[in-house]
Amino acid sequence: MRDLGMVEDDEPVRNQFSQGMVIKDGHKMSKNRGNVVSPDDMIARYGADATRMYSLFAAPPDRDLDWQEDGVAGVSRFLSRAYRLGVKHAPLARTANGYEVIELAGTSLKLLRKLHQTTAKITLDFEGRWHFNTCVAAIMELVNEIQAADAQLAAGEVSAPVVREVLRTLALLLAPFAPYLAAELWEELGEDGAILRAQWPVSDPGLAKEDELEMPVQINGKLVTVIRVAADADSKAMETAALAAEKVQSRIAGRTIMKIIVVPGKLVNLVVK
Q: Determine the pLDDT at residue 64.
A: 54
* d(C-alpha 69, C-alpha 57), whole Å: 13
Instruction: Provide the 10 A C-beta neighbour count for residue 171.
Output: 26
Contacts of 121 (CB under 8 A, 6+ apart): 134, 135, 138
CA 26 to chain CA mean position, Å: 29
Q: Mark the ranges of the chain whose per-residue pLDDT is less than 50.
A: 1-36, 100-102
pLDDT of residue 74: 85
Give Cβ neighbours of residue 167 (< 8 Å, ≥ 6 apart): 86, 89, 90, 93, 185, 189
State how beta strands 27-28 and 212-219 pair.
Answer: unpaired
In contact, 15 and 24? CB cutoff 8 Å: no
CA distance 263 to 59: 32
The pLDDT of residue 4 is 34
pTM for this predicted structure: 0.65
Return the pLDDT at 174: 93
Q: Is 198 exposed, middle or buried (0-12, 13-18, 19+ CB in 10 A)?
A: middle
pLDDT for 266:
84
Q: What structural domains and CATH numbers belong to the chain?
A: 11-208 (1.10.730.10), 212-272 (3.10.20.590)
CB-based contacts of 34, cutoff 8 Å, min separation 6: none
pLDDT computed for residue 106 by the predictor: 81
pLDDT at 10: 38
